[in-house]
Structure 1
Amino acid sequence: MRMSTWIRQHLAALRALLVLTAITGIVYPLAVFAVGQLPGLNEKADGSLLTSEGNVVGSSLIGQSFTDADGAALTQYFQSRPSAAGDGYDPLSTAASNLGPEDMVDQNVFDPEGRASLLTTVCARSKEIGDREGVDGSRPFCTGDGVGAVLSVIGPRDADGEVSRPVQVISVNQACPAVPFLDAYRGVRVQCAEPDMDYSVGRIVPIQGDVPAVPVVPADAVTASGSGLDPHISPAYAEIQVPRIAKARNMSEEQVRELVTAHTEDRTLGFLGEARVNVVELNLDLDHTHPFSG
């Protein structure tokens, strides 16, 4: 009797398994696929692919790097925002750098195997963009040569952990014989960084500097997106690139701005996020309408 009950229970479980497998493993996927092939949906369901002369050249959902083999920006293209996904825009390695605002001290000042801090990375990108686009690339907490403006202030501390009387001040991201970005801090001469000194005993102090509170180079130009795949840039970043594109492609700046506007997407549902420019689609359109002659 017990054996008969055991068999009936297992047969019922097997039937449930087969039915659910058919529904969730066959019927449901086929239904979703069929809906995705409806007019108006099939293009998105297939990956929002972009084609040129019959060849797939990318997706409107995934950014691309418009640089040469050495990583230098190609002057004829709008530049995307940075990417931390693999070697850049790798869908198999989508990720952010996971570095935060307190990552200010470079590890590569004396160690070739170390990395630059997030602050110095941002400063270097801003300077490079400023030089390339002919705009002011300065930003708060950055030196003029594109590294993080950070001091290690050494001396006795008060109850709150503040250095009450500095006895030594080091520009930790500027290795000697570099000239420190600041002559003196609280009456103490600022020194360049020496390899045999321990700066961790000091209080790390970032210096804002005498620069515009709102940088000309926008934040999306110097920071990666959370996914590392974002194909968009802000209209502000697109705008500072317009003169370079116009000159490279022998266009008027107004013609370039018209194409930028055509590829600018408004806020989602009118209130989510910000307006954004799809760089991949914009550059593809530029190649179609105003080919670069070199």
Structure 2
Amino acid sequence: MRLPIWLSQHLAALRALLVLTIILGLAYPLAFVAIGKIPGLSDKSGGSLVAHGSTLIGQSFTDADGNPVRKYFQSRPSAAGDGYDPTATSASNLGPEDVVDTADRKSLLTQVCERSLAIGKLEGVDGSRPYCTPDGVGAVLAVFFRDGLTGPITRVVSVNQTGTPFTAAYKGVTVEPAKAGEDYVAEGGVITPIRGNAPAHPVVPADAVTASGSGLDPDISPQYAQLQVPRVARERGMSEKGVQDLVKKYTDGRALGFMGEPGVNVLELNMALDKG
């Protein structure tokens, strides 16, 4: 007996649903669970959870007031939520041209300058950077010309400082401090970053002052780790060599020997230090 066309179509759809449910709903997930159990992959597939967090997600090592705990290595900054929030993973989306502070937020340049200065003080090194003022904001001027973009300079404003400007004059014109709420770009000022005399290669490395793309990076560069070695050794009463040996132990090389850069897992390193 031949079934009606409409009934045949419904039975074919039901068979397809059952087959795809078995393949995609059961076999496919179970296959990847099995792959995740392969030695070398099981730690990552399980999230690498440990008593103090996950070795795959960065975290802060600060006190209740947000100050760095000096006996621990510090992670790189995070722009994910309030910091290292896996439910809000993101970058700041601020680029190199974000150099002017506003009433709502600090520019990327000022954030970098501020972090570098703070790390310099924490580690006892020079925290200066190009295009940063000595007090840790972006060294940026709004330069006004008589004819818009040409002609003699008529006015200069240090746009990120409401106090004493980082430089008294620019090309013979006295530099004014900024006034809160003023938009000097809208007024016709030409934004001019000033490099200053900071070293071309700052002591504080880039990953110490910038967040990763995800905001969850658990690693820091070997350079940033080495910068922190003297402080951690001093706070824990250890030799610098002993701390350096641990840094080397928890440094991962490039993936496949050539992809990416070496990194030091901060959580694993700090846990090893606590174990003595």
5 Å matches for 1:267-286?
267-286=254-273
Aligned to 1:53: none
Alignment partner, residue 32 of structure 1: 32
Q: Which residue is equivalent to 1:205? A: 192
Task: Report deviation, 1:102.
Answer: 1.0
Deviation at 1:44, TM superposition (A): 2.6
Q: Return the TM-score normalized by structure 1.
A: 0.89
SS of the aligned residue for 2:153 comes to coil
Q: Secondary structure at the match of 2:160?
A: strand
Counterpart check, 1:189 vs 2:179: no
Shift of 1:265: 0.9
Which whole-Å deviations, capped at 9, do the CAs of 1:237-273 have from their partners, x for residues lacking one?
1111111001100001111100000011111111111
**Cα displacement (A) at 1:40:** 4.1
Question: 1:274/1:42 Cα in 2 relative to 1: closer, same or farther (>3 Å)?
Answer: closer
Identity of paired residues, percent?
62
Contact 1:154-1:163 at 8 Å conserved across structures: no
Gaps of at least 5 residues in structure 2 are none
Conserved in 2, the CA contact under 8 Å of 1:259 and 1:282?
Answer: yes
Aligned residues: 273
The aligned residue for residue 89 of structure 2 is: 94
1:259 paired residue among 225, 243, 246: 246
Contact 1:95 1:228 in 2 (8 A): yes
CA distance in 1, matches of 2:183, 2:5: 76
Alpha-carbon distance in structure 1 between the residues aligned to 2:39 and 2:203 = 43
**Does residue 179 in structure 1 map to residue 164 in structure 2?**
yes
Task: Give, in angstroms, the shift of residue 195 of structure 1.
Answer: 3.3
- 1:83 and 2:70 equivalent? no
* Root mean square deviation, CA, Å: 1.6
Shift of 1:35: 3.0
Q: Determine the C-alpha separation between the residues in 1 that align with 2:182 and 2:258.
A: 52
Q: Please give the alpha-carbon distance, in whole angstroms, between the structure 2 residues aligned to 1:194 and 1:35.
A: 61
- Residues 61-104 of structure 1, C-alpha deviation per residue, up to 9 Å, x if partnerless? 11110001111100000000000111111111100010111111
1:33-48 correspondence runs (5 A)? 33-48=33-48
Q: Quick one: structure 1 residues 166 and 94, their matched pair in 2 at CA, closer, same or farther if it must change by over 3 Å?
A: same
Distance in 2 (alpha carbons) for counterparts of 1:185 and 1:152:
10
